[in-house]
Amino acid sequence: MKTLLRGMLLICLALPAAAQVTTLKQEVDVGPELDRAIRQLIEATGALEIGEQFANAISMQMTQNLRQTNPDIPPRAFDIIQQEVMTVIGEELANGSFEDQMVPVYARYFTLQEVEELLAFYHTAIGQKTVEVMPLLTQESMQVGQNWGIGIGPIVGRRVTQRLAAEGIVLD
């Protein structure tokens, strides 16, 4: 059971990494002004609160996997998973290590002036509304995307199978 839980946790944690688009990562010199502005932007956008959504997604994925592989698992196990995932992610977000890692990422894509313009936007009424609705918009969009993917999955499967067969490639 411990091995299964460890394996599932590794899979859940690896999913976002596997889904990343590989980009050329160049070192960025983040001066104190840009660092401060990026941290303000991260706070203004509620970007760190996404960690809670991430924790919920991990918990749900682990719960689904456990239910499928161990239908007799006691319901208390699911409470424990939820609590521990939320606790660990909460502790990690609180210690600032995630934010420290995000600052150079933002700095690769935004100048100080651009960050200041974004901050100005997020301090407007529409900017605040964007922050407020973005988690819901993201969650609903993910569900739409998942349903869409499920819907086109058979079409993709048929087309790939036909194309492979036409090329003389047989999969077992």
The residues of the chain scoring below 70 in pLDDT are: 1-26, 51
What is the per-residue pLDDT for 134?
87
Q: How far apart are CA 71 and CA 82, in angstroms?
A: 18
pLDDT tens-digit readout, 85-98: 888 888 888 888 88
Domains of the chain, by residue range, sit at: 2-16+27-135
What is the per-residue pLDDT for 12?
53
Contact partners, residue 55, CB within 8 Å, separation at least 6:
85, 86, 89, 90
